[in-house]
Amino acid sequence: MYLPAAFEEQRPDALHALIQAHPLGTLVTHSAEGLDANHIPFELDATASPHGTLRAHVARANPVWQQAADAEVLVIFHAADAYISPNWYPSKPEHHKHVPTWNYAVVHAHGVLRVRDDERFLRGLLARLTREHEARSQQPRPWMMEDAPPDHIDGLLKLIVGIEVEITRVVGKSKLGQNRETRDRLGAADGLAALGQHAVARAMREAGPGA
């Protein structure tokens, strides 16, 4: 990934926060069959290894767990993104030396994929994922695994396989206007907010030189 110094994110807490806030990762693998990508919700255990460990499950029918077992993989996590118009920069009328761009934040997690084909691992993983994302759904009564018939859950567990990626290298990029004048960065944030793109606008307001 092209990574100018102004956009490099090295803070572990910020990298982990992006993964946890946007857990649908793109698992990129390479095998004898060529390049492949699967889109999977991951759980991050930030304390399991120096850079954290990712856990997820895939359908047993999905060949990725066999093709990429014990192989190096890349998992990409993407926060909100937005088109940036030069018209939002207060300095534009002064010299007109601005062009459009795109702002975004991503994390690339590198590691080796391990297969965890055991029921205990899967039950624990599914219970944690369910609790986390049902809580985010803000329902009066969150769904629990116990709501489904036990034999139904038992049958479904046989149809999935667990995977685990111990992160060996993590690269973060936050391209949020840090290379602009403060007034231009904040002006673009205001432009996005007016369109309802509050996530990117908020991130841009919090960014700054060296962030």
- Residue 136 makes CB contacts below 8 A (sequence gap 6+) with none
The answer to pTM > 0.75 is: yes
Q: What is the tens place of the pLDDT at every residue in 77-86?
A: 999 999 999 9
pLDDT for 211: 40
Alpha-helix residue ranges (DSSP H) falling in the chain:
12-21, 64-67, 92-95, 119-136, 150-157, 182-194, 198-206
Distance CA 197, CA 168 (A): 33
pLDDT for 209: 56
pLDDT for 210: 42
Q: What is the tens place of the pLDDT at every residue in 106-141?
A: 999 999 999 999 999 999 999 999 999 999 999 999
Distance of CA 184 to the CA centre of its chain: 27
* Statement: residue 58 has pLDDT above 80: yes
Q: What is the tens place of the pLDDT at every residue in 180-204?
A: 999 999 999 999 999 999 999 999 9
